[in-house]
A and B are shown apart, each in its own frame.
Chain A
Amino acid sequence: MPAFERSPRQFLEFLYLLTRMELKARYRGRFIGYVWAVGTPLALAFVYWIAFKVIMRLDMDNYSVYLVAGIFPWTWLSMGVTGATRGFVANAPLVKEMGVAHAVLPLSNVLQEMAHFVLALPVVIAWVVLAGGYDPSASWLWQIPLMLALQAAFVYPLALACALANAYVRDVEYLLGIAFPLLFFATPMVYSIEMAPEPLGTWFEWNPLHALMQSWRSVFQTGALDPAHMAYAAATAVAAGAIAWLAYRRLAPRVGEVV
């Protein structure tokens, strides 16, 4: 018996306020907040470029574009999930107050990171066109929103499931701290999949994150969708959604007690 039923409209208002206030609070008092949101992944890409292209002499054309096109969606994914994972534990009083609607907290995290990604898109596009010499494509106007929806459908169930699991088993956030760096190299993010020796290369092909990131690179670098990879990512998103739904039914009712 929830304290009150939120109407769909009120739920959306709540989600909007939560996300917006969280973003405001994060950047208030920080003069160059937006710059950090965009600059940090960019700086990271630069570090990898120095490490792999310059020092290790990795052989790939337009390596910087490969990095940049991937690192922002990756940041959305990893920050969204890891940020959401701590969400119930870090906001224990809030979780107890809310009654129901636990699902909104991870969603807010995912949307915040999506907001960062959308704000970074001009930078990504500029890089792809100017540094990479690729042609800008009008088809981006509908491809990018489509990819946004696909990734959101992918990331949110993961975020929700991890957040619920972490409320019960507090190690989850630390496990993710190991999993994401591993996945970063298993996706792969800093080299192309052809460079991976067998059997690793085949295994990496099965990584749904690879499908997702490759779809983004396909859009940015060729202006065309990658239907095979997108279908695989979508199928994984559906599976993740099913798992998250089960986890929610099983774990959400007692979250207020364990945080």
Chain B
Amino acid sequence: MSDAVICRDLWKSYRPRRPIGLKSFVVGPRSAAEGDRFVRQWALAGVNFRVAKGQAFGVVGHNGSGKTTLLSVLLGTIRKERGEVDVRGRVASLLELGAGFHGELTGRENVALYGSILGMTLREIRERFDAIVEFSELDRAIDSPLRTYSAGMIVRLGFSIIMHSPADVFLIDEVLAVGDARFQDKCRHHLREFKKRNGTLVIVSHNMAELSEICDEGICLELGEVVEEGPIERVIAGYRARSATPPPVASAARP
């Protein structure tokens, strides 16, 4: 069984790269921690894991443990400092659901635009358009401008477009299923079908019940380090155990 995602000794630093202005040059930053959420140096420290094709891989951890950073590195929007990351196949992410959605444009136009952002050709978009609209349950609202949509409708549309994009690997950040209970069942069913078609999932979530239902293996991150890995039940148990005690402030990890 070949691997879809390989991560080898991944290190990503947290050196603040927040935007600066001339004021900082002239006046100096107001405090050493200005703008920084955390004090530690490494967002990700020596992360190793593999995900086989057709697997669902869960990533759990406290807030700020590096989960979203990890997904961003897998997606390619964030550069790593050292280590290797290999993602085989086309990747679609739910990191920024509806990025590029325009309120003035209709749902139909946004499907075309968002689909193109995700890398779909116009032909692919045309072929899948009806399925996308049907899955999102938007019916005739598809021809209304997006600014008339409720928040739920927007998320359903974004979710639907991504689910229908020709990706081999889905990266999901906390938005596992949206909408009402019935729609959520539909999403879960769709993800299971995706797995059967040898699609790979990497899922960040705080919803342990959902993770244990869909994922096979996973890791638990704490302060950027992998503290648990293996079958998802073991990872979740490890995370729960750590949740009982407050996390340490700084890590001693060195590359």
A residues apposed to B, CB below 8 Å: 1-4, 6-7, 9-10, 13-14, 17-18, 21, 24-25, 28-29, 91, 93-100, 167-171, 253-254, 256-259
Contacts and interface: CB of A to CB of B under 8 A. Distances in A.
A97 to B, nearest CB: 4
Given A25-B103, A171-B21, A171-B22, 9 more contacts: A17-B113, A25-B102, A28-B145, A96-B72, A96-B95, A98-B117, A169-B21, A170-B19, A170-B21
A130 B82 CA distance: 66
A251 B176 CA distance: 33
Interface residues of B, number: 39
B105 A94 contact: no
B30 interface: no
B78 interface: yes
B112 interface: yes
Contacts of A93: 96, 98-100
Contacts of A28: 104-105, 145
B72 A256 contact: yes
Interface string B95-119: 1101110111100010011001111
> Do most interface residues of chain B lie in helix, strand or loop, or is the interface mixed?
loop
Instruction: Tell me which of A4, A98, A259 has the highest count of chain B C-beta atoms within 10 A of its own C-beta.
Output: A4
When A and B form their complex, which 7 residue pairs have the shortest distance between CB atoms, in order from nearest? A256-B77, A93-B99, A93-B96, A97-B99, A25-B104, A3-B91, A94-B100
B75 A99 contact: yes
A257 B78 contact: yes
Interface in B47-98: 72, 75-79, 85-87, 90-93, 95-96, 98
Contacts of B99: 91, 93-94, 96-97
Nearest to A254: B79
Instruction: Tell me which of A29, A91, A100, A169 has the highest count of chain B C-beta atoms within 10 A of its own C-beta.
Output: A169
Contact of B22 (A18, A29, A95, A169): A169
A168 B77 contact: no
Nearest to B91: A3
Given A1-B87, A4-B91, A28-B104, A97 B18 contact: no
Contacts of A94: 96, 99-100, 117
B184 interface: no
Interface of B: 17-22, 72, 75-79, 85-87, 90-93, 95-96, 98-100, 102-105, 109, 112-113, 116-122, 145
Contacts, number: 109
Nearest to B171: A3
Contact of A256 (B78, B86, B90, B112): B78
B20 A18 contact: no
Contacts of B75: 3, 99
A112 to B, nearest CB: 14
A112 B45 CA distance: 44
A257 B76 contact: no
A99 B75 CA distance: 7
B117 A25 contact: no
Contacts of A6: 119
A21 B117 CA distance: 12
A97 B79 contact: no
A94 B102 CA distance: 11
Contact of A97 (B20, B85, B109, B117): B117
B123 to A, nearest CB: 9
B20 A169 contact: yes
A170 B112 CA distance: 31
Nearest to B167: A4
Contacts of B87: 1, 3
Given A1-B85, A21-B102, A97-B95, A258 B119 contact: no
B91 A97 contact: no
A69 to B, nearest CB: 33
A98 B117 CA distance: 6
Contacts of A169: 19-22
Contacts of B21: 169-171
A6 to B, nearest CB: 6
A99 B77 contact: yes
A4 B119 CA distance: 7
Nearest to B102: A25
